Structure 1
């Protein structure tokens, strides 16, 4: 329940404080006095969007504060506990707007985001504005009213979760489809290229060895002759280098201990002899492997020619064919994997869509029960609001083949017959502006009947009505506030007399400044204000009429 609203330097309001209580409070005053500014300020405290024009002219900032008293079973109190902002049973909202267009918000002294303030605000107050009847023709507002309260929160949550699960899988499938697929026939080409390269693709090291062997055989006899001559020099028993080195080692080794230089010489000669032996062995091995047959050379020529041809085809060097083969294999595997992933995602999407359809079907059944209840309740209220014989229908269409959505597979159409004997038709086509306003009020009251918010604010929802209908609206608002709190900005005396208390908003101009203040009316002041609202000058007759209205409203309850 709202207990205090404090406004400073907002619009034309310099400093205003409004204390409220339980029950029905009527807010009245001359046109332009600033009544709706109280509602605007409260809307900003509930997370509404603001701009620099909200700040009073000549001021740097505007400050708005609202204090609420919460019950033990309040959903708002649970929210505060979940966010570690609980401060007993009190909830204090504060917002500061600067002339530069910036804004800051606090809940019980903790700095919060606007989205957090909006979350909590929805649990504290519901504002019914002057254009509610226009909103009522919009699908999102119709679903909000249908899904309000405790009739089917579990079914609605199940649909939302099922939809999110399906949408995530469907998004993955669409992203996969958006990837560049292989053109028709390219997979076959990839497999052909892989089969062609597999026998030939050599690593860089193996290709280097093959190239070296080819160069060796291409020079043929010249190479063999040179190598054999070198081997003969090393191997000759009498004059070969190896034999002579071994003799030198024997001659020097006997004197190696006499001098360090001799020892070094002896060591170098031994190493030379060893190296000479290794060279001889390597030459023998090379000569034994060299195949000078024409067939061998022809085979190597053919292999090198094939490797160079494949390299030209793939525009790489022969030593890079192995890398080309790996890239082709990877691309082929990815293409196959993509199809497998797509089949798996299609199966997942189908399974999740089926789960969504089942959840949406259960939600539809729960909504149908709620729609029937609301239709009956609104129809009954229409009789009270001057539309005798009128009928209201909240018609639901269920489309299990339609595109999935967070709201399920239902489509809503509000149908109404404002006159007896006529079949209900679409609300926005059948009802007049005045009828729309009354139907909108009836829908709001009926929708919140099972679990009304702690505070309901009605901003001139009685526009365009009068007479007995205005009386009915006043009593309806009083009934809506019976177990909670309702504030109504009104110009109608018939509505104001139904309130438990009445607050007048006054605007005064002086010292080149405009000031707005509020005043809770006592019994005599209230009679005068009701008389003023009835029109004409204050007189004993108008006061008597006002007293009669107040007495009638009191005795009716």
Structure 2
């Protein structure tokens, strides 16, 4: 719950420090004194948008600090732990600083955070119901949220939302693939032709370099064979003179000379070895020449293959040696396009399954909503009676529409219906309820839901506008009763409501040295009597007004 609030240089507040208690706290004050200043400051501290106009004129910045007791707030503690913002104490300090240029800084337990994080933790700390909150009651989506909040439908709503998102994602994928398939129809036809052509040619890895080398060899085979035969004659087979016989003769001569000089023996050995090498080379040349033959048909085949590869490379504007890689690439592209058709078929099945899962989750949520609506109908109708609408009847009309497109909130249409007079048929709130009645019905709903939904601090900002007399007393009693289980802070102008509080603040406006200052002071027992008397009879407080004020306060003792 809220335990402390410090405000500096905010609007018409110069310096304000307040401590807060459990139970119901009433805030009253003169018209125009700024009774809602604390709530406005709290809203800013909870992440609401900051504006330069919030800074008190003549100052550099506004600063708001709010302290909360987290003893019974596990969700708030969990948030702090998850974001590494917790401290060793059972409290949380929120701080917001707004500069006169409109820029702001936010802190949780002294650590800089974003305004969004302030707003996120704020939902676990405070629920603020403004004086125009009843206007939201006319909106169908808000009505559904109220029903779900009362029934504790968060897990069921989240399940529906997840199934809805799954349906949306699958449908998006299906639409994208379908559009891509239409756009790729012409491309697919071209790829099919190109792949079929390359499949038929079936060029293998490294084949182009191999046939290129073979073509070069075959085209020069005549020259090679003739040269081999000619050189074989020179090296070995010419009977008159050849290199091998010359080397053998020289080797013999130097072997004889080595008899005179042993140093020439090595020369003889080298010449003998050279003769052996020439003889071996001649043998290999002979074998090659015998095996080699002119094959015009093979040359034609190779030339045809080489020419086909060259033609395909020119056609696709690539190098011949890149044809195999290109073939693989467009084959994969064609497979990808073809797989789209398979995926589309799969998606149709997945979408149908997702829709069925959504329908099941939405049906479960709808059934639970109907059950919770029956309970709420009884409770709100009874509360209307207590709020001076003796013949009031409230009913939540839920119309399931499973056939409509998936929605993140399920397939229920909701309408809050009311009858405020005997014999009057149930009609939508907007057509039947007056402003005052709508405000009372809104308050009744808020109180009933607040009793079911764990919110540590509830703030009501002049939600009692448009009511008076016995109705105001009933509203006060209702809020005081709520204060037994939840901290309630209520800004009011009604003595019946203010007297219901366990404690009370008085907001006063002062003008000094041409400047306006607002103060919010806790009232003592006697101070409360004087303030309630003022609310009853105006600024001239009579003994009768004081007596009535004391009686109102004592009625709740």
Matched, 1:497 2:492: no
- Counterpart residue number, 2:65: 65
Query: Which residue matches 1:108?
Result: 109
Match of 1:51 in 2: 51
Residue of 517, 520, 534 corresponding to 2:519: 517
For residues 214-252 of structure 1, give each alpha carbon's deviation from its aligned partner in whole angstroms, at most 9, with x where no partner exists: 455556755644453344334434533455456667767
Provide closer, same or farther for how the CA distance between residues 182 and 236 of structure 1 changes in structure 2, counting only shifts above 3 A. Answer: farther
Asked if 1:291 is matched to 2:304, the reply is no
Matching residue of 1:437: 439
Contact 2:236 2:279 in 1 (8 A): no
Taking structure 1 as reference, are residues 466 and 289 closer, same or farther at Cα in structure 2, changes over 3 Å only? farther
Distance across 2 between alignment mates of 1:272 and 1:100: 104
**Do the aligned partners of residues 229 and 453 (structure 1) sit closer, same or farther apart at CA in structure 2, a change above 3 Å counting?**
same
Counterpart Cα distance in 1 of 2:194 and 2:92: 74
The question of whether the paired residues in 2 share the 8 Å contact of 1:234 and 1:280 is answered with: no
From the superposition, tell whether residues 289 and 30 of structure 1 become closer, same or farther in structure 2 (CA, over 3 Å): farther
Shift of 1:166: 4.4
1:483-494 → structure 2 map (5 Å cutoff): 483-494=485-496
Asked if 1 retains the 8 angstrom alpha-carbon contact of 2:93 and 2:108, the reply is yes
2:370 is equivalent to residue 347 of structure 1: no
Q: How has the CA–CA distance of structure 1 residues 72 and 30 changed in structure 2, closer, same or farther, with 3 Å as cutoff?
A: closer
The answer as to whether partners of 1:47 and 1:118 remain within 8 angstroms in 2 is yes
Tell me the equivalent position of 2:395: 393
Q: Could you tell me which residue of structure 1 aligns to residue 118 of structure 2?
A: 117
Q: Secondary structure at the match of 1:415?
A: strand
Match of residue 310 from structure 1: 312
Structure 1 position 30, deviation (Å): 1.6
> Post-superposition shift, 1:322?
2.3
Contact 1:387 1:418 in 2 (8 A): yes
Secondary structure of the residue that 2:36 maps to in structure 1? helix
Distance 2:164 2:16 in 1: 47
SS in 2 for 1:322: helix
Residues 336-391 of structure 1, C-alpha deviations (whole Å, 9 max, x = no match): 33333343344333333322322222122222222222222222222222333222
Which whole-Å CA distance do the structure 1 matches of 2:55 and 2:484 have between them? Answer: 36
Question: Aligned equivalents of 1:237 and 1:243: distance in 2?
Answer: 10
Equivalent residue number for residue 8 of structure 1: 8
Question: Could you say which residue in structure 1 is the equivalent of 2:324?
Answer: 322
- Residue 457 of structure 1: how far off its partner (Å): 0.7
1:33 aligns with 2:36: no
For residues 409 and 246 of structure 1, do their structure 2 counterparts lie closer, same or farther at Cα, with a shift above 3 Å needed? farther
Q: TM-score, length-normalised on structure 1?
A: 0.86
Q: TM-score if structure 2 supplies the norm length? A: 0.86
Q: 1:306 to 1:70 in 2, by over 3 A?
A: closer
Unaligned 5+ segments in structure 1 are: none
Which digits, 9 at most, give the CA deviation of each residue in 1:528-551, with x for residues without a partner? 3233333544142xx413532541
Query: What is the rounded CA distance, in whole Å, between the counterparts of 2:477 and 2:304 in structure 1?
Result: 106
Residues 223 and 414 of structure 1: CA distance in aligned 2, closer, same or farther (over 3 Å): same
Structure-1 separation of matches of 2:113 and 2:29:
35
Partner residue, 2:76 = 76
Taking structure 1 as reference, are residues 150 and 138 closer, same or farther at Cα in structure 2, changes over 3 Å only?
closer
Q: State the partner residue of 2:19.
A: 19
Structure 1 counterpart of 2:98: 97
- Residue range with higher mean Cα deviation, 160-169 or 383-392: 160-169
4+ residue runs over 6 A deviation: 249-255, 257-260, 262-269
Query: Which piece of structure 1 moves more, 446-455 or 229-238?
Result: 229-238
The SS at the match of 1:22 is: coil
Mark the CA change 1:302 to 1:393 in structure 2 (over 3 Å): closer, same or farther: same
TM superposition shift of 1:459: 0.7
Question: Where do 1:156-167 residues align within 5 Å?
Answer: 156-167=157-168
Question: Is the contact made by 2:247 and 2:274 (CA closer than 8 Å) also made in structure 1?
Answer: no
> 2:159 touches 2:361 (CA, 8 Å); kept in 1?
yes
The number of residues matched between the two structures is: 552
Q: Distance in 2 between matches of 1:94 and 1:527?
A: 35
2:5 and 2:65 in contact (8 A); partners too: yes
State the alpha-carbon separation in 2 of the partners of residues 486 and 81 from structure 1.
27
The partner residue of 1:471 within 456, 462, 473 is 473
Aligned-residue Cα RMSD (Å) equals 3.6
1:133 deviates by 1.5
- Tell me the distance in 1 between the aligned counterparts of 2:545 and 2:252: 147
**Unaligned 5+ residue runs, structure 2?**
none
Which string of whole-angstrom CA distances, capped at 9 and with x for unpartnered residues, describes residues 180-221 of structure 1? 567447656544543432353435743234234445555675
Could you tell me whether the CA contact under 8 Å between 2:537 and 2:545 is conserved in 1? no
On the 8 A contact 1:224/1:287 being kept in 2, the answer is no
Alignment match, 1:128: 129
Q: Distance in 2 between matches of 1:112 and 1:264?
A: 96
Question: Where do 1:65-464 residues align within 5 Å?
Answer: 65-72=65-72, 75-77=75-77, 79-80=79-80, 85-149=86-150, 151-177=152-178, 179=180, 183-184=184-185, 187=188, 190-203=191-204, 205-218=206-219, 221=222, 224-238=225-239, 239-244=241-246, 274=277, 281=284, 285=288, 288-293=291-296, 295-464=297-466
Contact 2:385 2:391 in 1 (8 A): yes
- 1:73 is displaced (CA, Å) by 6.5
